[in-house]
Amino acid sequence: MSPKVHASLAGSSISARLNRLPVTRAHKRIIVIIALGTFFEIYELFLSGVLATTLSSEFRLGGTGLSLVLASPFLGAFLGAVVIGPVADRFGRRKAYMITLALYSAATLAAAFSSDLWMLVACRFIAGVGLGGELPVTDSFLGEILPAKRRGYFAAWAFTVAYTAVPVVGFLGLGMTAAAPWGIAGWRWMFAFGAAGAIITFLVRRQLPESPRWLQTVGRAAEAEEVTHRLEEASRSEGWDGAEAVEPADSTLPQATPLPASALLRRPLVQRTVLMALVWILAVIGYHGFSSVATLALTERGFTVTSSLLYTSLAFIGYPVGSAVSMWLMERMERKLLLGGSLALMAVLGIVFGNAQDPTVIVVFGFCFTVVANVMSNATHVYQLEQFPTGIRTTATGWLYSLGRLSTAVAPFYLVPLLQHAGSGAVFTLVGAACLVAALAVVVAGVRTTGLSVEEISPELRS
């Protein structure tokens, strides 16, 4: 590298230097490690819905007991998102990751040994606390480590890998719910599999570096420089000559500093906070509402448990497919329009699925729903991490995720009774209405973010 380029690097902000880098094998290794943990987080979140009919029979659950099983991990996730977000902003993304995985793996393993409803609910709740902190930290870390021009694509790439967990849990449930290897019920093996994966991820994640943007925010400039320098060296080893480092990029933007949580409720962030809160409260009714009640909705229409699991497992293939589709769309469309459009399409597809009787229609529209749902999900993850400055990003996403988890936890207590008394058509009409309101809010009130650095999106703040 020439002395001129090296001098420009030394004088640039950490964020400017990170944004100028190409995505290298070093970036991709980080993304894969993150995706591995998120795989088991998503596996766990979808597990209750897949096992709903099996657990109802195992523990002789009525409507309230079933709702508790479905809601318990999301209630725990509400608490975890509230608590672990601020931990990540104060003590670091990497340390928060270790806490979330330790809680999740221990509690999920204990769930495999549940002897009654209350032990199962308690274990699922504690596992949820760990799960609640996982996605806010993931979103923040990806937003802070990836270059702005490729942030959407590679964040969606990470979630595409992770969302293969959904059909895995679906087909695993199809094969294991009626099985009992070595005399142990199949549903217990499914919990044990999730715990084992989380333990492996815990060991692998020790290789993660800390977020250089976060290190700079808390005044640990030497460590931020070290991590950034390693990424630059990795880029040069793959042919990058550092020429882009002499461009001004975001060097005129203010450096990152911590912000109090109260900044989320003050201008200019309050509008973004309210908008994303609305999205998380309403959109998850459609997203997790589908995964939680789809099998129950099909059995309510007279299909056998095995047929219902088969149809939903086939529909669940759409989750990783949708995530892969979002990779292609993420940098080609303005993200607020991608998010709003996918929410509106979910409403239409969900209503058709909820009223269908023909197995082919059920599978096709269920598949299409999950494809669009994961385009929406990935757009939400990326769009949300772009809304808030580094010094408060994980606190903000944690609080917003907590609202989503709370909304999801409450949903079984009205969706299951509505399903039992009014049928699946009424359930998915409600789901559609929630998605449409969220779509309208995003399109009208959302800010544009595609192609901009996280600093440029909020230039009026120290981000």
Residue 409 belongs to a domain: yes
pLDDT at position 276, please?
A: 93
Burial class (CB in 10 A: 0-12, 13-18, 19+), 179: exposed
Residue 462 domain-assigned (yes or no): no
Residue 274, class by beta-carbon neighbours within 10 Å (0-12 exposed, 13-18 middle, 19+ buried)? middle
Alpha carbon distances (Å) from 410 to 27, 108, 291, 345, 416 = 38, 21, 14, 24, 11
**Closest C-alpha among 277, 333, 306, 289 to residue 429:** 289
Predicted pLDDT at 459:
56
The number of domains in the chain is 1
| Residue 330's CATH number | 1.20.1250.20
Read off the pTM: 0.71
Q: Which domain covers residue 109, as residue numbers?
A: 3-457
In the prediction, which pLDDT does 254 show? 45
Looking at the domain assignment, is residue 463 inside a domain? no
- 409 contacts: CB under 8 Å, gap ≥ 6: 71, 72, 74, 75, 77, 78
Cα separation of 188 and 194, whole Å? 10
Distance in angstroms (rounded) separating the CA atoms of residues 29 and 18:
16
The verdict on residue 169 lying in a domain is yes
pLDDT at residue number 274: 93
- 414 found inside a domain: yes
Non-local (6+) Cβ contacts of 459 within 8 A are 253
Residue 370 maps to a domain: yes
Q: What is the pLDDT of residue 375?
A: 94
Rounded to the nearest 5°, which phi and psi values hold at 260? Answer: -75, 155
pLDDT at position 64 is 80
> Is 332 part of a structural domain of the chain?
yes
Within-domain flag for 75: yes
pLDDT tens per residue, the chain (463 residues)? Answer: 443 444 344 435 788 889 889 999 999 999 999 998 889 888 887 787 677 777 877 787 777 887 888 788 888 888 888 888 888 888 899 999 888 888 888 999 999 999 888 998 999 999 989 888 887 888 888 888 988 788 888 888 888 888 888 888 888 887 787 778 888 888 899 899 889 988 888 888 888 999 998 998 888 999 999 999 999 999 999 888 765 544 444 444 444 556 677 788 888 788 999 999 999 999 988 887 777 777 777 877 777 767 877 888 888 888 889 989 998 898 888 999 999 999 999 999 989 988 888 888 888 998 999 999 999 988 998 888 788 887 788 888 888 888 887 888 788 788 888 888 888 888 889 989 999 999 999 999 988 888 777 667 665 554 4
